[in-house]
Amino acid sequence: MIRIDEDGCIGCGVCASICPQVFEITDDGKAHVISQETADCVQEAVDNCPTSCIVIE
């Protein structure tokens, strides 16, 4: 399961730019998981998140 720690998310958009099929920035300015797809780009998004708020469980 992929989730975002919304308290830590700063809405920078790195995850959405790396892996748009799984993450998006919504109107609240935070990243949200839009698919539980296990795309290769998910780990890249985790590795590049500046606040380390993407969690894979």
Q: What is the residue-wise DSSP string for 1-57?
A: -EEE-TTT-----HHHHH-TTTEEE-TTSSEEE------THHHHHHHH-TT--EEE-
**And the tokens for 9?**
């998310």
Q: Which of 42, 15, 45 is nearest to 30 (CA)?
A: 15
Other CB atoms closer than 10 Å to residue 18's CB: what's the count?
19
Q: What is the pLDDT at residue 30?
A: 97
Domains annotated for the chain, with CATH where assigned, are 2-56 (3.30.70.20)
Mean pLDDT of the chain: 96
pLDDT in tens, 17-37: 999 999 999 999 999 999 998
Confidence of residue 13 (pLDDT cuts 50, 70, 90): very high
Supply the pTM of this predicted model.
Answer: 0.92
Q: What is the pLDDT at residue 49?
A: 98
Q: What are the C-alpha distances in Å from 35 to residues 2, 27?
A: 9, 18
